[in-house]
C-alpha cells in the first residue's frame, strides 16, 4: 500500500485492516472495525470518490494554504469564537498553528476537529508500514 492515499484500493485496504486487526488488542480491534465500517459506509453510499477527493486535498499542502477563516492563539479563544460566531460546518481555523475544521454533530452542536496535515498523514503511513 505505497500508493498515494487518494488512490487506494478499497478491497486491499479492507484486507489490510483485517490483517492488522488479527494482531491488535481488543481496543485497537474495535477502532479498526469502526474504520472498516466507515469505509464500507462510504462505498455503499457512493461517497468513496468524495472521500478520495478529501484525501487528495489533505495530502497536497499547496491546496491548503490560506484556507483558515480565523487564526487563534489557543483552544479557549477558538471555542469562544465557535460559540459566538456559529460558523458553518466545514469552516477551517488555525489554533496554535494547527488546522482544525468545524464539524456539526447530529444534535447540531459545533465541534473543532483536528484537520491533519500532509506531514501528519505521512508519519501515520510510515509508522503503519513498519
pLDDT mean over 87-111? 89
Alpha-carbon dihedral sign for residues 52, 38, 97, 94: positive
Q: Quick one: 24 and 45 in the same domain?
A: yes
Residues 66 and 115 in one domain: yes
Range of the domain at 10: 1-59
Whether 101 and 53 map to the same domain: the answer is no
* Total of domains in the chain: 2
**Same domain membership, residue 70 and residue 39:** no
The structure's pTM equals 0.50
Task: Report the pLDDT value the prediction gives residue 81, as an integer from 0 to 100.
Answer: 95
Residue 31 has pLDDT above 80, yes or no: yes
pLDDT band for 5, please (50, 70, 90 cuts). Answer: low
Where is average pLDDT lowest: 22-26, 41-45, 77-81, 116-120?
Answer: 116-120
User: Looking at the structure, do residues 102 and 129 belong to the same domain, yes or no?
Assistant: yes
- Same domain for 35 and 89: no
Amino acid at each position: 500500500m505505497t500508493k498515494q492515499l487518494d488512490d487506494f484500493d478499497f478491497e486491499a485496504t479492507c484486507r489490510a485492516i483485517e490483517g492488522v486487526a488479527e494482531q491488535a488488542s481488543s481496543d485497537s480491534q474495535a477502532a479498526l472495525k469502526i474504520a472498516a465500517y466507515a469505509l464500507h459506509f462510504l462505498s455503499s453510499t457512493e461517497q468513496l470518490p468524495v472521500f478520495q477527493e478529501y484525501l487528495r486535498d489533505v495530502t497536497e499542502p499547496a491546496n491548503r494554504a490560506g484556507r483558515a477563516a480565523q487564526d487563534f492563539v489557543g483552544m479557549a479563544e477558538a471555542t469562544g469564537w465557535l460559540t459566538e460566531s456559529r460558523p458553518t460546518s466545514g469552516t477551517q481555523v488555525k489554533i496554535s498553528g494547527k488546522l482544525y475544521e468545524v464539524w456539526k454533530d447530529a444534535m447540531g452542536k459545533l465541534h473543532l476537529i483536528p484537520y491533519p496535515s500532509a506531514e501528519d498523514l505521512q508519519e501515520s503511513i510510515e509508522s503503519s508500514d513498519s
